[in-house]
């Protein structure tokens, strides 16, 4: 700051300056507070005009004046100024509208003082205006700050404007720095994510080193979390913290494996790991009983130990410390479990051959002293058990129809011994569970003829007992739901000329006898009796299922029609030379169907592929008489009569020779429709 070159002040001048200081700063005492509170015009006029411009320095808190001309203004507040709570910017002065011109004499001169007021000293006025103009915002801010100070010690101070924004910016900045540090340093990153509750998982595929087959029930452990591998050798641990950890693989009879891994964000697949067996291994060769082909993924278990067969059917079971005597069970999907009692004296390297058969049993009737008993046995003839004992009232006209996939068989017989009004034996429809041996008599009638199984419904026709031959509803077409144990009548007629099931629908031709004219037509509907359709608007005599997806129709007047399954109506066709009707028996999954046909004077068994439409002859060493059903999607059962013996045989679509199941009674099957 330049040195002060002003001349010494007299007492009056010093007193006036002190007044100015008192006006600008309440901390400066007014020399005459009782007499005056502000400068008047006379005081201002008495100030001497300095030779040099007045220099005023505004001092901040803690700053000392360096010259006499420096006026300390730490928090200038004009006495008598209005109180404000926020700094108010100086408003823009609007432009004044142009005033109408007036005579010059009436307008006072700019420099002429107003009448009654003393003339104003220009230097002092300039200094005061400059202070007020340049420091008004400081003055107001300081006043606002003072008024915001709580007079009560319990009241908090108000935040200065802009402080919240600065804190938010600082917080965001710190977060950014933290994220940057965490991104650069893995340990910091894992710690931050784990603290935030982030968790990940890992998975692994475990194989037996000796067989290259998946290991089931191997234990995967990490951080107190564990899981067992499934039949595919796969295990997944979930809820793991991020960062370095140790995986531990354990299974009885195998060397334990530990792995140091790093768990990152996401799924963390660990790939494949092979465990080395340390216990004794027992070898098996698992094949199909009929075809002799290897069975893949057959499982052997003994206690907690287990193993799977490979593509060649070879299976190695590792036991850690087997007892002197132990049991091994071998299972496979859709197969009967095989059990073996073994001892430690048996050499582990000696391979044992295991032949497996379908898990479903075949039901058949056996005549014993005039009584017809119902039995069931596996395809190899083993475990043949009596399912339903005969009563001795049965006649030979017994019909059996086994469900395509469930362990249920329908039987029509005279086992109850009940008689009609004319003394004839009534027929009973009995449904038997071949596993639980539970039997239920569904219906008793003069006659009962089975049409076939359609999913959970058994379609049949019954003749109502004690009805006259001309009764228009003497015959009833019925669907029995074996699970709900409910009968649902689908149609009624004096009798039915023909009925077949094909393509998931029932086709039936009621006789015109004792019916309203025009009602005898060829109809079809779903097994539950819905979606009824007219296939041919004529009275039909016979239905011939000539191929898997076609039905030949004969009508009155010796007219012939061909109907393709799924078409809306039958079409006229030429009369066939020797029409044949075949009983197609569909496999449980509906992909195959088999039937028996006479070719070159011999009966042959043929298999139809539904998808391709192709058919092939299944080679058998004997001549099939009639179809019996399916035991699985691969095994067919048929009946053979030769050398005075009637027996049921099983054959596999995968090859191999047909093998006898059991000697049976000469019962009927679902070969063709007949009318009483």
> What would the pLDDT profile of 202-237 be if each residue is shown by its tens digit?
999 999 999 999 999 999 999 889 999 999 999 999
Mean pLDDT of the chain: 81
Question: What CATH architecture is 280-356?
Answer: Sandwich (2.60)
Q: Note whether 229 and 241 are within 8 A (CB).
A: no
Q: In Å, how far from its chain's centre is CA 12?
A: 98
46 compared with 383, residue with greater pLDDT: 383
pLDDT tens per residue across span 276-317: 999 999 999 999 999 999 999 999 999 989 999 999 999 999
At 280, list the tokens. 């004794």
The Cα-based distances of 372 to 82, 384, 393, 414 in angstroms read 121, 15, 9, 10
Which CATH number describes the domain made up of 199-275? 2.60.40.10
Any idea of the CA torsion for 276, 277, 282, 285, to the nearest 10 degrees?
Answer: -20
555 contacts 572 by C-beta, under 8 angstroms: no
Q: What is the 3-state secondary structure (H, E, C) of 651-665?
A: EECCCCCCEEEEECC
Torsion angle, alpha carbons of 113, 12, 27, 143, to 10: 10
Each as own residue / partner, the long-range contacts of residues 182-191 (CB below 8 Å, 24 or more positions apart, any chain) are 186/243, 187/243, 189/242, 190/241, 190/242, 190/243, 191/243
Structure confidence at residue 459 (pLDDT): 96
Structure token pair of residue 174: 């710190």
Backbone angles phi, psi at 103, to 5 degrees: -60, 140
Domain definitions of the chain by residue range: 11-91+115-148, 163-193, 199-275, 280-356, 389-573, 585-663
User: Residue 1 has what pLDDT?
Assistant: 42
**Angle CA 298–303–309, to nearest 5:** 15
How far apart, in Å, do the first and last CA atoms of the chain sit? 136
- Compute the distance between CA of residue 544 and CA of residue 553 in angstroms, rounded to an integer: 6
Q: How confident is the model at residue 648 (pLDDT cuts 50, 70, 90)?
A: very high
- Separation between Cα atoms, residue 584 and residue 596, nearest integer Å: 8
Q: What's 600's DSSP letter?
A: T
Positive or negative, the Cα torsion across 584, 589, 591, 592? negative
CATH architecture of residue range(s) 389-573: 7 Propeller (2.130)
Those residues whose C-beta lies under 8 Å from the C-beta of residue 92, and which sit 6 or more positions away, are none
What tens digit of pLDDT does each residue of 66-116 get? 544 444 444 444 344 444 444 444 444 444 444 444 444 444 444 444 344
Q: What is the mean pLDDT of the segment spanning 604-608?
A: 96
- The runs of H, that is alpha helices, within 254-359 are none
**Dihedral of alpha carbons 118, 122, 123, 129, sign:** positive
Domains 280-356 and 389-573 alike in fold: no
Task: Give the count of beta carbons closer than 10 Å to the beta carbon of residue 488.
Answer: 14
Average pLDDT over residues 411-440: 94
Tokens 């002429």, residue located: 112
Query: 313-354: per-residue pLDDT in tens?
Result: 999 999 998 888 899 999 999 999 999 898 887 777 789 999
């Amino acid at each position: 700051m330049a040195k002060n070159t002003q001349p010494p002040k007299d007492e009056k001048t010093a007193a006036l300056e002190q007044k100015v200081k008192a006006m600008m700063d309440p901390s400066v005492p007014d020399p005459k507070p009782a007499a005056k509170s502000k400068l008047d015009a006379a005081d201002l006029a008495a100030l001497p005009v300095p030779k040099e411009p007045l220099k005023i320095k505004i001092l901040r808190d803690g700053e000392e004046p360096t010259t006499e001309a420096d006026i300390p203004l730490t928090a200038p507040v004009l006495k008598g100024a209005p109180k404000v709570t926020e700094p108010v910017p100086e408003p823009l002065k609007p432009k004044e509208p142009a005033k109408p011109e007036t005579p010059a004499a009436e307008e006072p001169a700019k420099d002429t003082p107003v009448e009654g007021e003393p003339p104003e000293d220009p230097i002092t006025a300039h200094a005061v205006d400059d202070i007020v103009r340049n420091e008004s915002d400081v003055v107001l801010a300081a006043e606002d700050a003072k008024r915001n100070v709580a007079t009560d010690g319990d009241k908090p101070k108000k935040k200065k404007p802009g402080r919240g924004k600065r804190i938010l910016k600082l917080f965001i900045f710190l977060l950014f720095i933290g994220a940057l540090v965490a991104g650069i340093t893995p340990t910091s990153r894992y710690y931050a994510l784990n603290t935030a509750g982030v968790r990940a998982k890992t998975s692994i595929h475990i194989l037996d080193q000796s067989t290259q087959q998946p290991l089931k029930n191997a234990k995967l452990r990490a951080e107190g979390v564990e899981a067992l591998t499934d039949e595919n050798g796969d295990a997944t641990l979930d809820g793991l913290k991020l960062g370095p950890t140790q995986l531990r693989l354990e299974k009885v009879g195998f060397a334990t494996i530990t792995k140091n891994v790093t768990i990152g964000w996401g799924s963390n697949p660990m790939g494949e790991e092979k465990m080395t067996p340390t216990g004794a291994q027992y070898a098996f060769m698992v094949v199909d009983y009929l075809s002799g082909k290897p069975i893949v993924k057959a499982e052997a278990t003994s206690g907690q130990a287990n193993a799977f067969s490979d593509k060649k059917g070879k299976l190695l079971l590792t036991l850690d410390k087997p007892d002197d005597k132990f049991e091994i069970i071998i299972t496979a999907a859709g197969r009967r479990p095989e059990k073996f009692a073994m001892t430690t004296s048996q050499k582990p390297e000696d391979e044992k051959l295991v032949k497996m058969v379908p898990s479903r049993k075949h039901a058949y009737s056996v005549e014993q002293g005039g009584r017809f008993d119902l039995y069931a046995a596996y395809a190899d003839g083993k475990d043949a058990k009596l399912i339903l004992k005969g009563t001795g009232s049965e006649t030979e006209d017994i019909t059996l129809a086994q469900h395509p996939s469930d362990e249920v068989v329908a039987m029509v017989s005279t086992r109850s011994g009940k008689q009609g009004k004319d003394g004839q034996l009534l027929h009973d429809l009995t449904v038997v569970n071949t596993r639980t041996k539970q039997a239920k008599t569904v219906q008793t009638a003069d006659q009962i003829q089975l049409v076939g199984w359609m999913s959970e419904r058994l379609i049949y026709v019954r003749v109502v007992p004690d009805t006259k031959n001309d009764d228009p509803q003497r015959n009833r077409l019925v669907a029995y739901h074996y699970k709900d144990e409910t009968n649902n009548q689908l149609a009624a007629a004096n009798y039915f000329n023909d009925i077949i099931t094909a393509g998931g629908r029932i086709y039936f031709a009621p006789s015109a006898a004792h019916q309203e004219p025009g009602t005898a037509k060829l109809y079809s509907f779903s097994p539950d009796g819905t979606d009824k359709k007219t296939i041919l608007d004529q009275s039909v005599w016979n239905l011939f299922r000539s191929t898997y997806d076609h039905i030949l129709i004969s009508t009155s007047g010796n007219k012939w029609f061909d109907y393709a399954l799924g078409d809306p109506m039958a079409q006229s066709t030429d009369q066939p030379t020797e029409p044949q009707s075949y009983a197609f028996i569909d496999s449980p999954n509906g992909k195959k169907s088999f039937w028996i046909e006479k070719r070159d004077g011999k009966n042959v068994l043929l298999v139809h592929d539904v998808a391709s439409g192709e058919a092939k002859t299944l080679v058998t060493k004997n001549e099939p008489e009639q179809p019996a059903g399916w035991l699985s999607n691969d095994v067919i059962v048929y009946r053979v009569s030769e050398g005075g013996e009637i027996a049921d045989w099983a054959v596999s679509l995968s090859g191999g020779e047909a093998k006898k199941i059991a000697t049976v009674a000469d019962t009927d099957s679902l070969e063709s429709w007949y009318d009483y």
